[in-house]
Chain A
Amino acid sequence: MQGSISDKTQINIETATHDSHHEHPDFRIFGLIVFLVAEGMIFLGLFIAYMAFRAMAPEWPPAGTPKLDLLLPGVNTVVLIASSLVIHQADAAIKKNDVKGLQLWFGITALMGIVFLGGQLYEYSHLEFGLRTNLFASTFYVLTGFHGLHVTVGVLLILSVLWRSLKSEHYGTNNHFGVEAAEIYWHFVDVIWIILFILLYLI
């Protein structure tokens, strides 16, 4: 862009050295965290709704609701928490420019996520109540389902990072936003599950 500025205008010499198509610093991680705060508010709203339903019900879960089995969801919880540790190894690897390490750890995380989702589907198919059985059943399915949707998105994110990492030098020590974003999102999904597990299964 050519043209001159009237010399009476205040010009900062330092900023003037930037050309007009300069890139501003990368705020994508900041933006992602802000987004996850908003996303967390959806869950918070649903959690509080669940607690309100529970507080207002004369009996919770309503009479006749079959007991939830703890073994499978317990294992699932361990898998998901462990996967958060695994995905962190990928982050450490890419910071050392180790793309193979990134692929290994992301691959394992994706597998663990798929195991979690499989476990959840298995649990759904063996539960003795359906979506419409009673208020507890409805909240159970909607809350775990909405979380499961987030796990699915997380797995897809991880797989797309894996796909991109096949291109040489797509990720490196100084260029790993995708890796970091997928990791932060995965931790978020993990934290939500822990709260959900405590709410639905333990108390």
Chain B
Amino acid sequence: MTAELSIPTQGPAEDDIVHNPRRWQDYFTFSTDHKVIGIQYFVTGFIFYIIGGLLAEGIRTELATPDPDLVDPATYNSMFTMHGTIMIFLWIVPAGTGAFANYLLPLMIGARDMAFPKLNAVAFWIIPPTGLLLMASFFLGPAQAGWTSYPPLSLLTGKVGEGIWIMSLLLLGTSSILGGINFFTTILKMRIPSMSMMQMPLFCWAMLATSLLMLIATPVLTGALILLSFDLIAGTAFFNPAGGGEPVVYQHMFWFYSHPAVYIMVLPFFGVISEVIPVHCRKPIFGYGAIAYSSMVISFLGLIVWAHHMFTSGTPPWLRMFFMITTMVIAVPTGIKIFGWLATMWGGKINLNTPMLFAMGFISTFVIGGITGVMLAAVPFDIHVHDTYFVVAHLHYVLFGGSVFGIYTGIYHWFPKVTGRHINDTWGKIHFALTYIGFNVTFLPMHILGLQGMPRRVAMYAPEFQGLNQVCTYGSYVLAISTVPFLVNAIWCAYKGDKAGSNPWNALTLEWQTTSPPQIENFEVLPVLTTGPYDYGDTAEVEEPAKVFTTSG
């Protein structure tokens, strides 16, 4: 990467450019603009996040006492089923891959749009009707078999809700596959000529790895759901032991998708964190190649670990050993990334603003989720805590502490780019503090509850667990309230915030080298790289280099 640097401080002068800002109506159209689609994905996802969050508050309120006094157990089953399904398939996957990747990829690689803009719009417009379809099942008796929908349980509890659930997931999977085709093609084929693979921002590497998983793993879920729907509707017995079928085959197919889905939900945010930390620490990223390749390694390993979800499903011992080892090995590339981020922060001029706080929050909570992940990979431990609250704690540390913190990191970082205005940093910090405290109060005690043997997915529990459960419940209220300052701040500042200019963070990646919000088709003329994406501290114009280099060796 060359050291010559002249881009960062001047994007095109704001007033020189005549561009039509988007009107609100544009966001309700079949727009093929990747920036419109990105925002459509995010706002749609956030609405479902609120719905899923309200369900979670219902679940926590029910669990404040050991008895099923708020809702009956069947309703409770539906609530956690819908909570999981909504959060995963309608919030985190669309927000990570749909919103961030759509908005940022073309800007970061100097393209005017995605490779297949119409396909992109189709992939988005599958989501709102499907979400409504899934919501409709609330009125028809929603699915009760958990987001994993294991047969034979899923074949016994309410045909209509389960049928809607299968249909929704088939559609959302299709949307995800179409998105994957777009990301994969765009990253490989649409970069400006001066950008080689090794000059791509790390978010693009993360999305390349994510899109591979979307393309390879999602179709297998489609296959499983096709067979499950035949069992449910046509009365076949693929997964029904009563008719000679084999439920374990469903579990294999389901987890062949759903474990990689964990990486589909977190790799984009590994990318986000890799973008945010160098900018706010004013230091080159530590170990660009290592972070880039570790995404690809995670993607590959992510495909061969699925049966660690099935240690209690009669998996033969030699197979357990294989999956235990591959699962533990996946901590290595993940650890490489975390060390890369910490080494980037080390000795940097850390600006403790909201995006940086969320990024640090991400790292701290994800490390805890990662460590409990390695614990769960160990067969004897997993068998001990399988289906207890320890697993619930683990998965929320990676999916909330990881993905949702990653989403907020990205939102605060790119807010000035997307809206052209600053988001209020003080309210951002209040949001962070409430989220971080609320999150840890909600989910940290669940580790202990799990180790003590409290089972998940049950509306009732033994009275001795009540104390910690109440702590979790109060924490979840803090977490719910934390969304309010964010929403008010974001909506207010999107219209009334201070003008941000093209490049408020003095960042080097290409999305900052155009107007804020980026003009239609992104760049007046296609940019050419004169600097690597993270060459901070290389010029006196931006930094005092001495300070940076004393610690970089």
Which residue of chain A is the closest to B9 with respect to CB atoms?
Answer: A8
Residue of B nearest to A17 (CB): B525
Contact with A along B189-206 (1 / 0, CB 8 A): 110111000000000000
Contact partner of B528 (CB less than 8 A), chosen from A12, A21, A22, A62, is A12
B467 at the interface (CB under 8 A from A): no
**What separation, in Å, do the CA atoms of A40 and B216 have in the docked complex?**
9
Tell me the complex Cα distance, A57–B17, Å.
69
Complex contact A34–B185 (CB within 8 A): yes
Contacts of A5 in B (CB 8 A): 12, 16, 524-525
In the bound complex, residues from chain A placing their C-beta under 8 Å from that of B521 are 1, 20-21
Minimum C-beta distance from A196 to chain B (A):
14
Q: Does B269 contact A (CB under 8 A)?
A: no
Instruction: Flag B204-230 by CB within 8 Å of A: 1 or 0 each.
Output: 000000000001111110111011001
CB distance from A18 to the nearest CB of B (A): 7
Query: Are B219 and A39 touching (Cβ within 8 A)?
Result: yes
Tell me whether B219 and A10 are in contact (CB under 8 A).
no
**A138, B236: Cβ atoms under 8 Å?**
yes
Cβ B237 vs Cβ A138 within 8 A: yes
CA distance A194 to B85 in the complex (A): 37
Q: Check A11/B528 contact, CB under 8 A, given A6-B13, A138-B236, A146-B226.
A: yes
Q: Is the CB of B234 within 8 A of A56?
A: no
Other-chain residue from B13, B115, B525, B530 in contact with A15 (beta carbon distance below 8 A): B525
The verdict on A16 contacting B13 (CB below 8 Å), with A34-B215, A45-B219, A53-B238 known, is no
Interface band, chain B: 35 or more
In the complex, A135→B513 CA distance in Å?
Answer: 60
A49–B227 touching, CB < 8 Å: yes
Q: Is the CB of A9 within 8 A of B12?
A: yes
Interface residues in A128-142 (C-beta closer than 8 Å to B): 131-132, 134-135, 138-139, 142
Q: Which residues of chain A have C-beta atoms less than 8 A from B181's C-beta? A: 31, 34-35, 38
Chain A 45-64, CB-CB to B under 8 Å as 1, else 0, gives 11001001100110000100
- Is the beta-carbon distance between B220 and A41 smaller than 8 angstroms? yes
B194 touches A31 (CB 8 A): no
Q: Are B244 and A57 in contact (CB under 8 A)?
A: yes
A26 shortest CB reach to chain B, Å: 10
- Whether B528 contacts A20 by the Cβ 8 Å rule is no
Contact of A11 among B116, B226, B525 (CB under 8 A): B525
Report yes or no: A45 in contact with B238, Cβ–Cβ below 8 A.
no
CB pair A132–B223 under 8 Å, yes or no, is no
- Taking A15-B192, A42-B222 as contacts, is the C-beta distance between A10 and B215 under 8 angstroms? no
From known contacts A27-B116, A49-B227, infer whether A12 and B235 are also in contact, taking CB-CB under 8 Å: no
| Interface membership of B10, Cβ < 8 A | yes
How far, in Å, is B116 (CB) from chain A's closest CB?
Answer: 6
Instruction: Assess whether B18 is in contact with A27, with CB atoms less than 8 Å apart.
Output: no
Contacting residues, chain B, for A168 (C-beta < 8 A): none
Q: Does B532 contact A (CB under 8 A)?
A: no
Interface code A162-176, partner B: CB below 8 Å = 1, 0 otherwise? 000000000000000
The residues of A that contact B194 with a CB separation of less than 8 Å are: 12
Residues of B contacting A28 with CB < 8 Å? Answer: 116
Distance of A134 Cα from B219 Cα, bound (Å) = 25
Contact A9-B11, Cβ < 8 Å, known A45-B219, A135-B244, A146-B226:
yes
Q: Could you tell me if A139 and B219 are in contact, using CB atoms closer than 8 angstroms?
A: no
A45 and B256 form a contact (CB under 8 A): yes
In the bound complex, do residue A16 and residue B525 qualify as a contact, i.e. CB atoms below 8 Å apart? yes
Q: Which of B151-159, B161-169, B245-253 contacts A (4 or more CB under 8 A)?
A: B245-253
Does A4 count as interface, using CB distance less than 8 angstroms?
yes
Question: Which residues of chain B in 236-288 are interfacial with respect to chain A, using CB atoms and an 8 Å cutoff?
Answer: 236-238, 243-246, 249, 252-253, 256
B376 at the interface (CB under 8 A from A): no
Known: A31-B115, A53-B238. A3 touches B524 (CB 8 A): yes
B189 close to A27 (CB less than 8 A): yes
Query: Taking the nearest CB of chain B, how far is it from the CB of A146, in angstroms?
Result: 7
A126 on interface, CB distance cutoff 8 Å: no
Contact indicator B219/A30 (Cβ below 8 Å): no
The answer for the CA separation of A191 and B439 in the assembled complex, in Å, is: 51
Q: Which of A41, A52, A53, A138 contacts B219 (CB 8 A)?
A: A41
Inside 8 A of A42's CB, which chain B residues have their CB? 219-220, 222-223, 226
Q: Which chain B residue has the least Cβ–Cβ distance from A22?
A: B112
Q: Is the CB of A31 within 8 A of B116?
A: yes
In the assembled complex, the Cα of A22 lies from the Cα of B115 at a distance in Å of 13
What are 21 residue pairs bridging A and B, where the CB atoms are less than 8 Å apart in the complex? A1-B519, A1-B521, A2-B18, A3-B16, A5-B525, A6-B16, A8-B10, A9-B513, A10-B527, A16-B526, A30-B185, A30-B189, A31-B119, A41-B218, A42-B219, A44-B220, A45-B219, A45-B223, A56-B246, A138-B238, A142-B238
Q: Which residues of B contact A (CB under 8 A)?
A: 6-7, 10-13, 16-19, 111-112, 115-116, 119, 177, 180-182, 184-185, 189-190, 192-194, 215-220, 222-224, 226-227, 230, 234-238, 243-246, 249, 252-253, 256, 513, 519-521, 523-528, 530
Nearest 7 pairs of A and B residues by beta carbon: A45-B223, A12-B528, A41-B219, A45-B220, A15-B526, A138-B236, A42-B219
Task: Contacts A9-B513, A11-B525 known; list 17 others, CB within 8 Å.
Answer: A3-B16, A5-B525, A9-B12, A15-B527, A18-B526, A22-B112, A31-B181, A34-B181, A37-B215, A37-B216, A42-B226, A45-B223, A46-B226, A52-B249, A57-B244, A132-B235, A135-B237
